[in-house]
Chains A and B, each alone.
Chain A
Amino acid sequence: MPARSARPGFVLDVDRSTPPTLFWHGEQYHLERLPAGSRVVYPPEALPALEHPDAAIRHALLNPLGDSQPLPSLLRAGMRLTICFDDISLPLPPMRRPDVRQRVIEAVLDMAAEAGVDDVVLIAALALHRRMTEQELRHALGDRVYDAFAPQGLLTQLDAEDPESMLHLGTTDAGEDVEISKRAATSDLIVYVNINLVAMDGGHKSVATGLASYRSLRHHHNVRTMQHSRSFMDQHRSELHSSNWRMGRHIAACGIKIFQIETTLNSNTFPEQFAFLQRREWEWTARDRATFLGVSKSLDRTPARLARSIFQSIRSPHQMQSVQAGEVEAVHEVTTRNVYRQQLVEVQGQSDILTMGLPYICPYNVNSIMNPILVACLGLGYFFNLYRGKPLVREGGVVIMRHPTPWAFHPVHHPSYIDFFEQVLAETTDPLEIESKFEEGFATDPWYVHLYRTSYAYHGVHPFYMWYWCAHALQHLGGVILVGGDPKAVRRMGFKPASTMRDALEMAEDVVGRDPSITHMHTPPLLIADVK
């Protein structure tokens, strides 16, 4: 029997017969009965995976897009080759072995070996993210790659605070400093291996952000850029995109050659035992319902720490849906089309209230704790911005998020977040004021620099960037309500706590008026709302 083709995303109008809707709630989930007349936006089903991923990768490397020669033609003995790859923040959740990066890098290394290239260095493109552990690197690259390069010091992680390892390449026409990894900039070829989970990943952002220093990043990781990116997922209306493109073209103009490899994944996000998370509620089987009940009841009795550890151990069955390689912009154009094909859902008009259930993971808490700043960033920075055209919620509307939002931080991964939360947000939640008053102090704090370079800490400025991601939403919205969160932590961020969804909807009416229109984003799996 032929496999059923993937159904597109769609918008459900809730009526009295609609079963309750699943909301993520950190390491738990709840069923909520939304008022009749509400809309629920469902993501498209997972697209078919590439049947022979390794062959597809080889095909992409041999048949590049845009003005690029096939990879083997770019490789020669005696050259300096630098292979850069996305870090632990992608994909989400981490995928089952073999990771896409391992498949691609092994293919690239095979070709490099065939061409007699000896000078090969791998760089994890951390930018200002935390360093990856050996276990995480092995997971992403495979043991064979790790064991071949790490012992010789040829598997490196970007240290954007080491002046000796960074190179300033001048400024763009707009006066933006471009400073990237010296090893990459002085190589004959950079091969960048991407996992493009959402539309803003990849393109010139790979090198211009992933290999860049604070000096460079501050030109686009700022409040103004975030407020003028509407949204990050729409290249034509994203100032973040524009700035990265200016930098990318400047890098190209400096004579630096980049061979871009981008991969997209289908939305097969959760393993079989959590399959109900990807099904529409009215299609749940008896087994799905039983699993939901069993898992929910178990999680209710599971200590938070254990629940976190269980969820963080999930390895996603993501499958590669496309791979393309060659010149950066040509590659990214095709990649974006593929991401849209998997994630885009057409939605008619905005609503007064947007609800969302926030899961246990975001790009910055893999194997870590989802602290309150990351909760805000996931909801208001990422989910809110998963739109093309207009936000799902009208200007002055309200976002209601569901997440336990504990006042908890990972002391090794997020030390500057603790200070940001305790000291900066205690004084103000205004992104502009925070930027002008506190950013530089945190960015240059020698302790945070030390921990970023030698431990596994996000850079001192990173919590600021998380807050800036929220800037567009904070400017757009009339209110933010968090259901089921630690009230003290929620209030610290300037949001309103609510015990139940019903309470939250009543509170939202004080802002948007009676009988509001409501839209719920049923994600993850991820979707991008194409709001007409």
Chain B
Amino acid sequence: MKGLLFERSLPRFAAARVASTVAPGGGSRVGPLRLAQLEEPPLPGPGWQRVRPRLAGICGSDLATVDGRSSRYFEPIVSFPFVPGHEVVGELDDGSRVVLEPVLACAARGIDPPCASCAASTNGNCERIAFGHLEPGLQTGYCADTGGGWSEALVAHESQLHAVPADMADEDAVMVEPMACAVHAVQSTEVGEGATVVVLGAGTLGLCTIAALRRLALPGVVIAGAKHPDQRRLATDLGADIVVEPDQVHRAVRRHTASLAAGRQLTGGADVVVDCVGNQTSLAEALSIVRPRGTVVLVGMPGPVLVDLAPLWQREVRLAGSYAYRHQTFPTAFEVVHAAALGRLVSALYPLDRYREAIDHAAHAGRRGAVKIAFDLRKGTSAAPWRMG
């Protein structure tokens, strides 16, 4: 089968990192990712099924991996070589369609009794992701044993599969996994009724978060920082009340909350700031616009950052991470995707052969008026490189 393989190669990691400083996505040309003929991964045991991906999205964490910019924190919890791709809608051998819940938790790893987190159904926080009968891997798409979505076949445990309703298009279904991340972020954060919530970033995660906030919580005003015109249009459409460019967020929050400012720091600010960017600038911005005792939620995957935490300390700000989801999150994610018609965020589909173009497109999605770029692995379809957003 055809698939994109990511191998451990330090020189190529380094080359990818250098290339990505010239142009994001540049790691796909010189890095450890290559198109290869692969053996289909064997089923690891009972309860496992073969999944043939139909659409597989390219996520921000995938881009960081391809460009060699991922945190070294992940090294012990991934195994090489692996096939990337964890946003997957695929087909089982019986022809039914499923969405993959990629976390490789205790159930998939054959660990019984499960860890405390899995026992509490918070399988996103599984404490055994480097253990059990599988090679280490926090998710499908980072594990040498399971394959990944950027190929023609992967294997998944039954605990990882969610049936796709017959009337749901593949484009909607491929948005379910990122939406589950947004749903989890909203459900695990205390968003009071009438609260002022700021969403930094309006890529896939930011837009999904806005949609989830509007359907699962009762915020008063949602302020979104979005860099590109199409992102601003979509943010408004999905429920943001005030949508501004990133460098205007600070002023918009100050105005809306009638706050004063002491230097760059607002004296008041938003009740909740959801950081869907995850870099040094966005985290510093979040801390400068959140109110005392407010909450900053990191949804975008961060790496090593240098941020002054004095305001966090002095203002007793809560800084929380939000990773993945619970198993029960997915039904809600299906509902929100359907209600908000999020298949429209899938902007372009590429065949695997054109992976470099796909990754380049994903790395410049906002600037090119796109949101979600995905690989189209459906048989008999010829992937159009561009779709209406």
Which A residues are within 8 Å of any B CB, using their own CB? 418-419, 422-423, 426, 441, 445-447, 450
Q: Report the bound CA distance from A419 to B256 in whole Å.
A: 11
Q: Which of A418, A441, A450 contacts B260 (CB 8 A)?
A: A450
Asked if B258 contacts A447 (CB within 8 A), the reply is yes
Residues of B within 8 A of A426 (CB): 244
Q: Is B251 in the interface zone, CB < 8 Å from A? A: yes
Chain A interface, >50% SS class? helix
Residues of A within 8 A of B259 (CB): 447
Asked if A447 contacts B261 (CB within 8 A), the reply is yes
Residues of A within 8 A of B242 (CB): 423
Q: Report the bound CA distance from A414 to B259 in whole Å.
A: 17
Asked if A445 contacts B251 (CB within 8 A), the reply is no
Listed by A's residue number, 10 A-B pairs whose Cβ atoms lie within 8 Å are A419-B251, A419-B255, A422-B248, A422-B252, A423-B242, A423-B255, A426-B244, A447-B254, A447-B259, A447-B261
Closest residue of B by beta carbon distance from A444: B258
A446 and B251 contact, Cβ closer than 8 Å, known pairs A422-B244, A423-B242, A423-B244: no
Closest residue of A by beta carbon distance from B267: A447
Closest 9 CB pairs of A and B: A422-B248, A447-B260, A419-B255, A419-B251, A445-B258, A446-B258, A450-B260, A446-B260, A423-B252
Which B residues between 235 and 268 are near A, CB-CB below 8 angstroms?
242, 244-245, 248, 251-252, 254-255, 258-261
Which B residues are within 8 Å of any A CB, using their own CB? 242, 244-245, 248, 251-252, 254-255, 258-261
Q: Report the bound CA distance from A446 to B260 in whole Å.
A: 7
Residues of B within 8 A of A445 (CB): 255, 258
Q: Report the bound CA distance from A458 to B273 in whole Å.
A: 30
Asked if A422 contacts B251 (CB within 8 A), the reply is yes
Residues of A within 8 A of B244 (CB): 422-423, 426
* Distance between A373 CB and nearest chain B CB, rounded to angstroms: 15
Residues of A within 8 A of B255 (CB): 419, 423, 441, 445
Residues of B within 8 A of A422 (CB): 244-245, 248, 251-252
Q: Report the bound CA distance from A493 to B46 in whole Å.
A: 65
Q: Report the bound CA distance from A19 to B266 in whole Å.
A: 56
Asked if B258 contacts A418 (CB within 8 A), the reply is no
Beyond the given pairs A418-B251, A423-B242, 8 more chain A to chain B contacts, judged by CB atoms under 8 angstroms and listed by A's residue number, are A419-B255, A423-B244, A423-B248, A426-B244, A446-B258, A446-B260, A447-B259, A447-B261
Residues of B within 8 A of A447 (CB): 254, 258-261
* Distance between B81 CB and nearest chain A CB, rounded to angstroms: 47
* Distance between A463 CB and nearest chain B CB, rounded to angstroms: 12
Q: Report the bound CA distance from A422 to B259 in whole Å.
A: 18
* Distance between B228 CB and nearest chain A CB, rounded to angstroms: 14
Q: Report the bound CA distance from A447 to B244 in whole Å.
A: 20
* Distance between A414 CB and nearest chain B CB, rounded to angstroms: 12
User: Which of B244, B248, B255 has the most CB atoms of chain A within a 10 A radius of its CB?
Assistant: B255
* Distance between A440 CB and nearest chain B CB, rounded to angstroms: 12
Residues of A within 8 A of B260 (CB): 446-447, 450
Residues of A within 8 A of B252 (CB): 419, 422-423
Residues of A within 8 A of B261 (CB): 447
